[in-house]
Structure 1
């Protein structure tokens, strides 16, 4: 690596290029995909400022990626994911929801009420968020729909 105030170059081996390319395409966190793409572009000889403008980050961020890559390799690049909003449901709230769902057949609203009773506080999120958390644990809930069966509709027709 060579880093001067306006120039920074990274020499990448073929396996490193392939690894960074996969990282830039398939990692679940956008910030890691951005880091991988930034290092690939540096390896191709592009300037830090050009990369920073294209990726909508600061020049300092690109320099930090280079230093992390040189210090710890891929592990350095993958550490420090700080993006995203904090989770609305704590592990304790999710555990209570799972326990309630396993105990008996309940609607999402009933599970939310059980969480509120156990923890003594209102549910800190919408029911859809609770549904997503339960889906991650293997449960699925569908909103009840009102619908008439065909046989009921045909009987009511004159």
Structure 2
């Protein structure tokens, strides 16, 4: 079966940018594979170079003919599900907005309010809060050196 993709100049530029800049690796891989198909490289060689099966190349070509760029980028379903549920993150956000607390105190209050332990590490909760715009500073337990130098004559 022939697997050929005819690309216009605009489509080729679009695929080049997609293969470099898309945030999901699988979309970048598909775009790179279609670029090579447009340059008349054999599907088997493309599959070996990109580390995918031969059938994937044929599927990408058919998706390109049927739906264009949208068909390439719409198929991303990969990745691990988030450890924290949306409800747990919402609870943490409410607590964090109410008063200034450390990350450990926020985690403890989330556990108390939800009645269950965090299903992840405390750092994961911190990352979820950072995605929502919160930032954390490490507490300092020692005085600054410049302050101690000034006091001792």
Alignment TM-score, normalising by the size of structure 2 = 0.91
Hey, what's the Cα distance between the residues in 1 that align with 2:35 and 2:22? 15
In the alignment, does 2:124 pair up with 1:129?
yes
Q: Structure 1 runs of 4+ off > 6 angstroms? A: none
Gaps of 5+ in 1: none
Q: In the alignment, which residue of structure 2 is the partner of 1:50?
A: 45
Distance 1:56 1:154 in 2: 63
Could you report, residue by residue, the CA deviation over 1:34-66 in whole angstroms, capped at 9, with x for unpaired residues? 111110011011111111111111111111111
Query: Which of residues 112, 119, 122 in structure 1 aligns to 2:114?
Result: 119
Structure-to-structure mapping, 1:1-158, within 5 angstroms: 4=1, 7-150=2-145, 151-152=147-148
CA distance in 1, matches of 2:140, 2:26: 39
RMSD between aligned residues: 1.7
Paired positions, count: 152
For the residues of structure 1 that align with 2:42 and 2:152, how far apart are their CA atoms?
A: 74
Q: Which deviates more, 36-45 or 77-86?
A: 77-86
Identify unmatched segments of 5+ residues in structure 2: none
CA distance in 2, matches of 1:142, 1:43: 51
1:70 Cα deviation from its structure 2 partner: 1.0
Provide the rounded CA distance (Å) in 2 between the counterparts of 1:62 and 1:68.
10
Secondary structure of residue in 1 paired with 2:3: strand
TM-score, length basis structure 1:
0.88
Compute the displacement of 1:144 (Å): 2.7
